[in-house]
Structure 1
Amino acid sequence: MKQISRKNWGWKITATGIVFLLLVGGLTGCDQGKTVSRSDFLLDTFVSITLYGESDEQLLDQPFERIEALNSSLTAFETGSDLGLIKENAGIKPVTVSEDTYRIIEKSLEYSKNSGGYFDVTIGPLVDLWGIHSPETKEAPTQEAIDAAKAKTDYKKIILSPDDQSVYLTEAGMAVNLGAIAKGYIADEVMAVLKSEGVKHAIVNLGGNVLVMGGKADNSDFGVGVEDPRNPGNGYLGVLSIKDGSVVTSGDYQRYFVDVAGNKYHHILDPFTGYPANSGLIQVTVVTNASIDADSLSTTLFLLGLDEGLKKVEALPDVEAIFITSENRIVVTSGLKDSFVFDQANYGDTYTITFR
């Protein structure tokens, strides 16, 4: 297996989405005849790519090389990276960036506008301030510090120039963070490489950010488990059957800290309040065609809450979602009625489920 070095990724600390450790469950179904697979610890998480109906392991070289190239382009913390240079030159001058960096920021800005600012690509100052990593005990930032960081969060202060492929943050102290979108972009790029190689059946799993193509080699669906947010890592509430598309989940239970008084602060930050979202949701799973769309929407819907999130899904084509509330309600949009099977036997006493 080709090893790719572990680096500090731009989405390692996310603000508006749980991108790197998304809690989509494992993929079921193994006996597919010829398969090739490779896995590694990348993007600060477990990454695997599996091809069905194939026997040439070299088909996996280019996809993993694409991941490595995007690491170099998109990391926020490495000296001289595009995002680092954008931050260093905020309020000073535009920075010419790579094609990948420009495209993902351009797309992020589109999502920022379409979400009314709930998805905000300039949430970097708040992400840096809160510094939410693995579970630990520490104190929340002061209100004064939160207000100062929030004042530097405003997607309307990004200027993109397609002529020279430059990005400019108009105010000093601003910073771009791609935590809620980067893995979706990478998954789509990896799948594009696989398609160019003639692969017909594949699973790309970037730490739970799942993108599948073509179903299994026997033309049956893949099964993607949706994790229990009340007991992460120890069970799946149900299984989604899907042949083509992406499944991405945002939740409040992987990246968080607890203060000495016992208050819990998760990593999905609301750019309007500057605090972790308090929307009444604990998990949102999005199913759609492109992983970049699923990634950004899972964050947006989590921030919007159940009622507004449902309205958002209903207004978008080819988007479905599974919402789980803090009151243990599971609400599944109508398009998943025939493809999501709830584990009633094991979870029927804990959760109530409604199909909309």
Structure 2
Amino acid sequence: MSRINRSKNSLKVIGLTMVTCLMVTLLSACGKSDTVTRSDFLLDTFVSITLYGESDEALLDKPFEKIEALNLELSSTDAGSDVLLINANAGIQPVKVSEATYRIIEKGIYYSEISGGYFDATAGPLIDLWAIHEPEIKDPPSPERIAEAQKKIDYTKIVLNPSEQTVYLTDPGMVINLGSVSKGCIADAVMAVIKEEGVKHAIVNLGGNILVMGGKANGTDFGVGVEDPNNPGNGYIGVVSIKDGSVVTSGDYERYFTDSAGKRYHHILDPFTGYPSESGLTQVTVVTDASIDGDGLTTTLFLLGLDKGLALVEKLDGVEAIFVTKDNRVIATKGLKDIFKFDETNYGKTYTFTQLQ
């Protein structure tokens, strides 16, 4: 990594550390002595783990080792990773993978199925074609190239062999991309390590994937802020209060580029159109027990749009969601009635809030 890139990432970490203190209502002030915390720039994002009621910083070693190990397995670019081997052997042969990789691909297929293909675990060719990362000015891919990428997307052509723990993509050129579920998978695995170490109160923050355990030492809930999509990084339209569970938010402002005419293209791609989703939503927040489910569902619900998204949430146990539409409506599902508080004072004039009953 160059010296310039090191400086850039350090600035991101410093800024996001302050955001984390605002986003999560912690047991105490960020620097109090009965907490240990560590942050780094991993998974192409800001990562922070905080343990409460603990003073031994060595307790953070294994959680961060787990992040790095799983990142190597699930990366689509690191040489020798499970995902890279699966993609390299598309149309050639099955690939034996780790248990973590196998389970996350099973979960990717599950969300592909329940979304009717809006979420597709094999959308890699389209994601690679658009290559949406940091904000920049460039032109979108041609319709012809988009159509070619779409031909290689079909989650039903993922063949799993549970007895051999292998994964096979039947057609050459297919590409699995686990970006929409990998952070959630890693967050859950990291929290499992923290529990094994005997920690009772913790927050894992993987770039907006928030997973909390045990509530505050005084028995009250953590408060997790839901970002203002019209002004990301500078305010929260409300707070979700939970002791244990995951809060994950995805929005069309997170990664995007602008073309030469000034049109913006965000990173949540619709496999049916080949273009960034135009579902009418600008942000989705999902509250679940497991972070992998929150991760997969934020993308799924965003692509489905408000009506279909609400219908899906109604069918799923232990899932609640907050939808923000492009016309500034905020809709919270039934189960959030007692745990999500919309900030009417500061955002009541900007957003119309509806709590479903």
Query: Is the structural similarity TM-score above 0.5?
Result: yes
Matched, 1:327 2:327: yes
1:325 partner amino acid: T
Shift of 1:200: 1.1
Q: Aligned-pair distance for 1:25?
A: 6.7
Distance 1:345 1:261, change over 3 A: same
User: Which deviations, in whole Å up to 9, do the C-alpha atoms of 1:225-266 show, x marking residues without a partner?
Assistant: 111101111111111111110000110002011111221110
The reply to whether residue 26 of structure 1 matches residue 23 of structure 2 is yes
Q: Partners in 2 of 1:218 and 1:142 — Cα distance?
A: 57
Deviation at 1:92, TM superposition (A): 1.0
In the alignment, which residue of structure 2 is the partner of 1:285?
A: 285
Quote the offset at 1:80 in angstroms: 2.4
* Cα deviation digits, residues 252-294 of structure 1 (max 9, x gap): 0020111112211100001111111000000000001000011
Structure 1: which amino acid aligns with 2:24?
A: L
Give 1:84's aligned residue.
84
Question: Any idea what SS the aligned residue of 2:282 has?
Answer: strand
Separation in 2, partners of 1:80, 1:24: 37
User: RMSD value over aligned CA atoms?
Assistant: 1.7
Tell me how far 1:310 sits from its aligned partner: 0.7
Q: Is residue 2:302 matched to residue 1:297?
A: no
Give 1:24 shift: 12
Q: 1:263 to 1:301 in 2, by over 3 A?
A: same
Q: What is the SS of the residue equivalent to 1:312?
A: helix
Partner of 2:38: 38
CA contact (8 A) 1:135 1:256 kept: yes
Number of the residue aligned with 2:154: 154
1:24-63 C-alpha deviation (Å, 9 max, x unpaired) = 9711234277211111111111111111112221111111
* TM-score when normalising by structure 2: 0.91
Code of the aligned partner of 1:60:
L
> Conserved in 1, the CA contact under 8 Å of 2:227 and 2:236?
yes
Residue 163 of structure 1 and its aligned partner are, at CA, apart by 2.1
In the alignment, does 2:200 pair up with 1:200?
yes
CA distance in 1, matches of 2:269, 2:283: 14
Listed as ranges, the matches of 1:45-84 within 5 Å are 45-84=45-84
Is the CA contact (8 Å cut-off) linking 2:27 and 2:217 kept in structure 1?
no
Matched, 1:224 2:224: yes
Could you give the per-residue CA deviations for residues 298-317 of structure 1, whole angstroms, max 9, x where no partner exists? 11100010111111111111
Equivalents in 2 of 1:309, 1:107: separation in Å? 18
Counterpart for residue 349 of structure 2: 349
In the alignment, what sits opposite 2:11?
Answer: none
Name the structure 2 match of 1:136.
136
Of Structure 1 and Structure 2, which has the larger fraction of its residues in helix? 2
**Cα separation, 1, equivalents of 2:130 and 2:341:** 37
Structure 2 partner of 1:124: 124
1:198 Cα deviation from its structure 2 partner: 1.2
Distance between the aligned counterparts of 1:331 and 1:162, measured in 2?
A: 40
Q: Aligned to 1:180, what secondary structure does the other structure show? A: coil
The residue identity in structure 2 corresponding to 1:28 is T
C-alpha distance in structure 1 between counterparts of 2:337 and 2:37, whole Å: 31
The alpha-carbon deviation at position 108 of structure 1 amounts to 1.2
Cα distance in 2 between the residues matched to 1:342 and 1:112: 31
Partner of 1:20: none
Q: Within 1, Cα distance between the matches of 2:272 and 2:305?
A: 14
1:148-200: CA deviation from partner (whole Å, max 9, x where unpaired): 10110000001011222111111111000011000000000001111111111
Shift of 1:79: 2.1
TM-score (norm 1): 0.91
1:216-255 matches, cutoff 5 A: 216-255=216-255
Q: Which has the higher contact order (CA 8 A, sep 6+)?
A: 1
On the 8 A contact 2:118/2:271 being kept in 1, the answer is yes
Q: CA deviation at 1:345?
A: 1.8
Contact 2:34 2:55 in 1 (8 A): yes
Q: CA deviation at 1:73?
A: 0.8
- Aligned counterpart, 1:106: 106
Q: Identical aligned pairs, as a percentage?
A: 68
2: CA distance, partners of 1:258 / 1:307: 29
Equivalent-residue separation in structure 2 for 1:65 and 1:78 (angstroms): 17
Aligned to 1:15: none
Displacement over 4 Å in runs of 4+: none
Name stretches of at least 5 consecutive residues in structure 2 with no aligned partner: 1-5, 7-19
